Structure formats: C-alpha cells, structure tokens
Amino acid sequence: MTRETLTPTRAAARWLAHEDLDQSPHSEQFATWLDESEANRDAWAQAHRMWDVFDDADDSDLIAAMARAARQAGPEPVARPFWPQLIAASIAVVAVSATLLMGVQQGWFGQSARPVQVAVNEAASLTAAGRADYITGKGQKSIVDLPDGSRVTLDADSAVDVVFTGGRRDVRLLNGRAFFDVAHDKAHPFAVQAGGRVVTALGTQFDVRLTPGAMRVVLAQGSVSVASAPGAPAAPLVKLEPGQAFAAQDGVAGKVSSADLDEALAWKQGVVEFHDQPLSEAISLLNRYTRAQIVIKDPQVAALRVTGVFKTGDIERFGRSVSQVLPVRMVARDADTYELVSKRR
C-alpha cells in the first residue's frame, strides 16, 4: 500500500481511506498488514472507534453522517470503494505525539462545484506561445482535454501555456501544479517545461509542481526524461521510473528519490499530505485553495512541524484540527484573514 515506513496509526488511516480495499491485490495486502502485529490490529480497531467521539459534536448533521459511515464499515473491509467518497486521515503532530482521525464524505456537502476551466487567447490558444491558455484561481481545479487525446488536471492557482504546432506537443507550466495523462504518440513526444527543466514523455502519467525557485516531477506510470530547458544552465539528463520523483532548485543539478504516489497525488482528490513540514509551508500550500487566507506572524509558530492529511478548501476546520494537537489557536482578523497564534498569547 505504501512505499514508506508508517506508524500503525497512520497506516490504519491510510487503509481506511484506501480505494477498492475489498479487491485484489489490496485485500491480500491489507490482510497481511493486519497479521503482521497486534499493534496493527489495535490501530485498525482504534481507527473505527475514533469515529464515536464525533457522535455528540456540534457539527451534528455532518458528524453524524461520518460516524454512521464508519460504523457501517465495521472492522473488516466492505464490498464498496471508500475513496474518493470517504477520506480518512491522520494528523500526527510530532511535537506533541498526538493523532487525530478525520473523514469527509463528498455527498454530505451537496453537489460539488464543477472545476472551472478558463481559456485565454482563444483565437490561437493552442498554436501560439507566450500566454496562458488554461488558468485556475484559488480553490479551482480544471480538467482539460487536449486535441491529441491527452488530459491535463490543473491544480488550484495554476496556469499552463499549450502549443501544438509544427508536429510538436509542448506545454509550459507557468505556475502551480498539473497532472498529465499523456496520449501515446511515438512520433510526437509530449514535453512539459517548468522551472528550467523539460519533462519529456511518449505516453505516461506524471505530476509537475512549480514553486518559487524549485520544481518537482513525480512519475505515476510509464517513463519520462528530465533535461535542461533551452537557455537554462546545463544539467545531466535524468530518466525516471514509476514511483520516482525528481526535485531541483534553480541552478542545482537536482535529485531523484522514491515517492509515495498516494501522498503525491492526493491533491487530485481534494486533500494534501504533509510529512514533518514546518507549519509555514503547510499554510502556504493550503492558502492556494481558498479565498480566505491564513497568516503566521510568530516565527516560533511558523517553525512548528506537522505531519498528516488534510482536506483542502476548509481552513477553519484545519485551524480547529491543528489547535487540538499543537499549542496554537486560530484567530479571525477580518472576513478573509485568519492568524495562527500561540495559545500562550
């Protein structure tokens, strides 16, 4: 199920959220995990018992639905997929050694808004370079079907420039993040330029994230090569295998590492996952998904570290969750601004 060492509690949360837990090979892997230790079995039972604490919560309708879903699941896998309908997450904060399990059922919030796709420069949108052809704002995601049969899933606050001309398939990720499901065409490689690198694929699935001064590629399927972009400093050619990631900062050669695909692609399902990251970094990412923003002015609060899986688009719930396991509280400064402050203030 995972490519990393997880505590029994976090592994149980992953299993609770796993897609097709009743189907092979997941059912066999899950059974093996249960048999490995008493700690795993206790964590699995605890993952379900945790739902009971929500029975009398203030969010009565939502929490009651969450609790009912957990009780119906029982201690054994059920014959229906959980993900993406049910997202169970653990928020394990290293500083206080605490864990909180959470879940969200999409249907409990009513019909989700459809991703908003914005086309710019429509007259020559896929033949001229230099302008963004597809843009998403904060809290938006867009699924773009390209004329070659490829599909691009654009994350919030992201933009791409697509140029299909002269027998080439070129894309520039201008900012943000995108997942590419590339239609196979051996004669016309699919190239994505981002952060001074060019990721080239024939027919594959990969994720590219662009942040200030850095870029990261995660390969889900097939193969890609990563090379220097024209005009950028020369760097060695790198080839990735499924489950590998390549990360580089401007002017640095870059590094290949193994990647947890569940974590890396969680944003497509409306969640983000952090591993022992500063709270400031977590906030920076979460702010991409909402008009309202969280700020941190206290450097000691910003330096607190967090590990866990969080639903995007609900910063108030994020603030409540973090305040249960970190010495912080969230204060509303105005209609669109919240500040995380120390509880000692």
- How many whole angstroms separate alpha carbon 138 and alpha carbon 121? 21
Q: Which structure tokens are listed for 96?
A: 């206080």
- Is the Cβ–Cβ distance between 340 and 322 less than 8 Å? yes
Chain-centre distance for alpha carbon 5: 19
What local confidence, expressed as pLDDT, does residue 9 receive? Answer: 77
CA distances in angstroms from 182 to 28, 202, 206, 213, listed in the order given: 31, 7, 9, 26
Residue 314 has φ and ψ, to the nearest 5°, of -140, 80
- How many whole angstroms separate alpha carbon 238 and alpha carbon 235? 9
Answer yes or no: CATH 3.55.50.30 is held by domain 270-342.
yes
**What's the whole-model pTM score?**
0.62
What's at 89, amino acid-wise?
A
Which residue's entry shows tokens 């609060």? Answer: 301
Which residue's entry shows tokens 């059912």? Answer: 27
What local confidence, expressed as pLDDT, does residue 125 receive? Answer: 55
What local confidence, expressed as pLDDT, does residue 27 receive? Answer: 73
- How many whole angstroms separate alpha carbon 71 and alpha carbon 192? 45
- The CATH number that domain 118-262 falls under is 2.60.120.1440
CA distances in angstroms from 17 to 84, 104, 141, 152, listed in the order given: 8, 10, 22, 25
Enumerate the domain spans of the chain: 8-109, 118-262, 270-342
Q: Which of the 8 DSSP states describes residue 344?
A: T
- Domain 118-262 and domain 270-342, same fold? Reply is no
What local confidence, expressed as pLDDT, does residue 301 receive? Answer: 93
My answer on whether omega of the bond before 8 falls inside 30° of 0, hence cis, is no
CA distances in angstroms from 205 to 36, 179, 275, listed in the order given: 33, 7, 24
Mean pLDDT per block of 10 residues along the chain (345 residues) reads: 62 66 71 83 69 40 42 38 31 28 29 39 54 88 90 93 87 95 90 93 92 93 92 88 92 87 87 88 90 92 88 86 88 90 84
